[in-house]
């Protein structure tokens, strides 16, 4: 006699035990459930949900549907580059050179987490200022750092030697995908990697690995880069610092402040300084100078010269003039120029008088006022 196979024999028909589905009853699969009649291998990297069991500790049970809580990523939105995006070298430059109260923001523990994804010997030879070398396991796979709370970082940036696309299966993209699992913000991959960045900003290359808080606070703070390789915005002290002018190859300055202290610095270059003696006050008139300023900057652009716009503290006057130029040169609306400027220079602050004058400038450049300056974003 042949013994029956062990386990339940589904060839023996009978009532389905309580709690089990009768799969002999065919019909459409209810919405939200997987059709297990469609068999096939589980794609690499996906969980085989046909293997039922409790959700492992620390993992989300995605079968519990509901709105994603604020601050958490919706993991139902899948994509190979979810949470990873490219950034331009000048965007990293601006993150490295931001200041608060005249002190480098790199001293703030959660401002920037910069990762060098190159091989260890390349990192030790030279890397970008304050970058940390990515950690890997015994098999060479990238792993999350133990000493940094990635989800608490405002900016997470990764670079390798020369990655220029997210389709490039390079080290930067692989590392960024690991970091994106924890980061609450998109992880940025620097276009062109170390090769491009270090060629543009040689003065930010270093071999130094560890910094004290005091050393970070004393790092040189550069003006914000607005138009890559052409236009910068900062304060009067930066406009008077010969090392900054040399590093950034500045050839002309627009000075929005009283005095002509910058004339002597550019004495060897005629017509290199445009002085606009205006105070940072709601009653000051900048509007009447916008045309002259834009013409001056445009003429320098035509020569390929880099221009630095400064005001006494690098705040309202400097920012207003920069926005006015963006509106005139790139045909931006006031809101478009404002948002672009804020991305480059988050410390930007405008007084209400200058904001109103920019609204009038929009009428001049666009023929109508397209931006509502009463909006809370202003």
Structure tokens at 307: 């221009």
3-state secondary structure at position 273:
strand
pLDDT above 90: percentage of residues in the chain: 68
Domain termination residue (choose one: 179, 194, 217):
217
What DSSP string runs through 172-240? HHHHHHHHTTT-SSPEEEETTHHHHHHHH-GGGEE------HHHHHTSPPPPEEEETTTEEEEEHHHHT
Q: Is there a contact between 203 and 101 (Cβ–Cβ < 8 Å)?
A: no
Residue-wise pLDDT for 254-293, tens only, equals 999 987 778 778 878 888 999 999 988 899 999 999 999 9
Residue 107 φ/ψ, nearest 5 degrees: -75, -15
The pTM of the full predicted model, rounded to 2 decimals, is: 0.77
Domain count, the chain: 2
Q: Does 321 share its domain with 303?
A: yes
What is the average pLDDT score of the chain?
Answer: 83
How far apart are the C-alpha atoms of 331 and 335, rounded to whole Å? 11
Domain termination residue (choose one: 217, 235, 264):
217
Residue-wise pLDDT for 40-54, tens only, equals 454 555 444 444 444
Report yes or no on 201 lying in a domain: yes
Half-sphere exposure for 343 (CA within 13 Å, toward CB): 13
Report yes or no on 44 lying in a domain: no
What mean pLDDT comes out for the span 178-189?
95
Report yes or no on 47 lying in a domain: no
Residues making up the chain, counted from first to last? 378
The whole domain housing 133 covers 84-217
Asked if the model's pLDDT at residue 68 lies above 50, the reply is no
What mean pLDDT comes out for the span 55-79?
40
Q: Does 230 share its domain with 342?
A: yes
User: What is the per-residue pLDDT for 27?
Assistant: 52
How far apart are the C-alpha atoms of 59 and 55, rounded to whole Å? 7
Q: Does 213 share its domain with 289?
A: no
Q: Which of 324, 316, 259, 277 is nearest to 297 (CA)?
A: 324
Residue-wise pLDDT for 87-110, tens only, equals 999 999 999 999 888 899 999 999
Residue 255 φ/ψ, nearest 5 degrees: -105, 110
Q: Which of 155, 219, 222, 214 is nearest to 190 (CA)?
A: 155
What mean pLDDT comes out for the span 340-354?
93
Q: Does 196 share its domain with 230?
A: no
User: What is the per-residue pLDDT for 208?
Assistant: 96
Element (H, E) at 158: strand 155-159
Q: Does 275 share its domain with 325?
A: yes
Lowest mean pLDDT among 2-6, 293-297, 351-355, 362-366: 2-6
Report yes or no on 300 lying in a domain: yes
Report yes or no on 72 lying in a domain: no
């Amino acid at each position: 006699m042949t013994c029956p196979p062990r386990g339940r024999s589904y060839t023996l028909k009978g009532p389905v035990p309580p709690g089990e589905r009768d799969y002999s009853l065919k019909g459409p699969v209810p919405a939200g459930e997987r059709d297990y009649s469609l068999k096939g291998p589980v794609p690499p990297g996906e969980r085989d949900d046909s293997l039922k069991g409790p959700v492992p500790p620390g993992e989300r049970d995605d079968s519990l549907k509901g709105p994603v809580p604020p601050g958490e990523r919706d993991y139902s939105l899948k994509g190979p580059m979810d949470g990873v995006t490219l950034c331009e070298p000048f965007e990293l430059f601006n993150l490295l050179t931001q200041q608060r109260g005249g002190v480098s923001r790199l001293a703030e523990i959660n401002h920037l987490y910069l990762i060098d994804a190159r091989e260890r010997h390349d990192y030790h030879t030279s890397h970008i200022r304050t970058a940390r070398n990515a950690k890997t396991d015994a098999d060479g796979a990238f792993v999350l750092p133990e000493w940094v709370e990635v989800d608490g970082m405002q900016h997470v940036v990764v670079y390798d030697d020369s990655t220029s696309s997210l389709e490039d299966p390079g080290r930067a993209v692989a590392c960024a995908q690991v970091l994106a699992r924890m980061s609450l913000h998109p992880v940025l991959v620097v276009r062109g990697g170390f090769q491009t960045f270090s060629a543009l900003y040689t003065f930010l290359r270093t071999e130094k690995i560890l910094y004290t808080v005091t050393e970070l606070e004393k790092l040189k703070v550069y003006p914000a880069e607005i138009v890559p390789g052409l236009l910068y915005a900062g304060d009067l002290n930066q406009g008077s610092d010969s090392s900054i002018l040399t590093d950034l190859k500045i050839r002309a300055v627009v000075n929005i402040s009283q005095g002509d202290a910058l004339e002597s610095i550019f004495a060897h270059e005629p017509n290199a300084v445009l002085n606009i003696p205006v105070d940072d006050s709601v009653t000051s008139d900048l509007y009447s100078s916008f045309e002259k300023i834009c013409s001056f900057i445009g003429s320098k652009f035509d020569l390929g010269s880099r221009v630095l716009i400064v005001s006494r503290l690098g705040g309202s006057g400097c920012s207003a003039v920069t926005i006015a130029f963006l509106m005139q040169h790139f045909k931006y609306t006031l809101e478009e120029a404002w948002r672009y400027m804020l991305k480059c220079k988050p410390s930007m602050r405008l007084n209400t008088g200058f904001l109103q004058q920019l609204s009038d400038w929009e009428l001049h450049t666009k023929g109508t006022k397209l931006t509502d300056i009463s909006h809370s974003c202003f």
